[in-house]
Amino acid sequence: MKKIFNLKSLLSVICVVSILALTLLSLTGCSAKERLYLFNYGDYIDPQVYDLFEQEYGIEVVCDEYAAPEDMYAKFVSGSAKYDLICTSDYILEKLIGEERLAEINIGNLENFSNISEKQLEAVRAFDPDLKYTVPHFWGTVGILYNTETVKREDLKSWKCLFDGSYKGQIVMPNSERDAFFVALSVLGYDANTTNEKELREASELLKKQKADVQAYLLDEAARVKVESENADLAVIYNGEAYLAFENNGKLDFAVPEGGTCVWLDCFAIPKDAVHQDYAELFLDFLCREDVAAMNFDYIYYSTPNQAVIDALDSEILSESAIFPDDSTLEKCTVLKYLGAETEKLYSELWKNVKS
């Protein structure tokens, strides 16, 4: 009886172990789902796009988010996380290209790349001359979102209205060193891409004097909501955020000072050490597809580089200057450039002094 019991016990144990093994194999299969790791600005792709991509290709997109380009660069180069795809702005992309941190994109694998407008590709050449490393995502301008009942449109002809005390305590400035310095440099009549230390220190002093009039330093949605909720009268903001504000508050408008502004260009790029460059290129092709690009445009309302989407828009949207700046505005726009390690270090030092 003892021997029979031991045999039965052994058989029972074998059965239990087999079931556990099969269960573990099943769970392992579930956890081994294919993944694409993306590093992007916050809320910069319609979440439904990720779901659709996973449904079509079986690849889950895992997205880390950041606020300012400098934050993105610091984390990216630290190597604390590995990404298959990143999205960031012009001057940071130029820096990454110069440092040879990006992989060349096989444009031949992007069937839908032909949807990107020639005008946008020409603009991208400012930092990616041979169009080897980047694929455009959105673009736009920097301007002033304002409450028409408390701010005079006439005042917004110049960036100086943010520095002359007229709107003390009602101003939201961008929490981004290059954007904030751009505004100050424009007031002083200096080039947005100056590397002259004297000019940059002068701009820093102007920003420090302005600080008493500034209610907050914010970006994107946080800046928009301040004016939208009428807790601030005006904010230096990206154009797409302005259009979203119009939908929630009919008192608001957007202005680009007559002296000009900067045009920003956000693009995707593939890190040189990406584990899944093939997944990254598949996702890029997916984003360039007309229906997917239209989903993102409807979600974000920033200027799309996708000509197929633009061609399908109605005239009312196309005439909205907050989304699609006219040629007279674009003629006076500047693309921010990477200014070299020495000037970058100076910028960081001066910005900390402004904010401290």
Q: Which CATH architecture has domain 34-137+265-321?
A: 3-Layer(aba) Sandwich (3.40)
CA separation for the pair 344, 91 (Å, rounded)? 11
pLDDT on residue 33: 82
Instruction: Indicate if the pLDDT at residue 356 is higher than 60.
Output: yes
pLDDT at site 32: 64
Q: Which residues pair with 245 in a beta bridge?
A: none
pLDDT tens readout for residues 306-348: 999 999 999 999 999 889 998 899 999 999 999 999 999 999 9
25 pLDDT band, cuts 50/70/90, is very low
pLDDT at 99 over 60: yes
Domain boundaries along the sequence of the chain: 34-137+265-321, 140-263+335-355
pLDDT of residue 3 exceeding 50: no
Do residues 99 and 93 make contact, with C-beta atoms less than 8 angstroms apart?
no
Measured torsion, CA atoms of residues 124, 127, 129, 132, in degrees rounded to the nearest 10: -80
How does residue 240 score in pLDDT terms, banded at 50, 70 and 90? confident
Same fold, 34-137+265-321 and 140-263+335-355: yes
CATH number of 140-263+335-355: 3.40.190.10
Q: Which residue has the higher pLDDT, 17 or 114?
A: 114
Q: How many residues does the chain have?
A: 356
Q: What percent of the chain has pLDDT over 70?
A: 91
Residue 27 has pLDDT above 90, yes or no: no
pLDDT(81) > 70: yes
Q: Per residue in 264-319, pLDDT tens?
A: 999 999 999 999 999 999 999 999 999 999 999 999 989 999 999 999 999 999 99
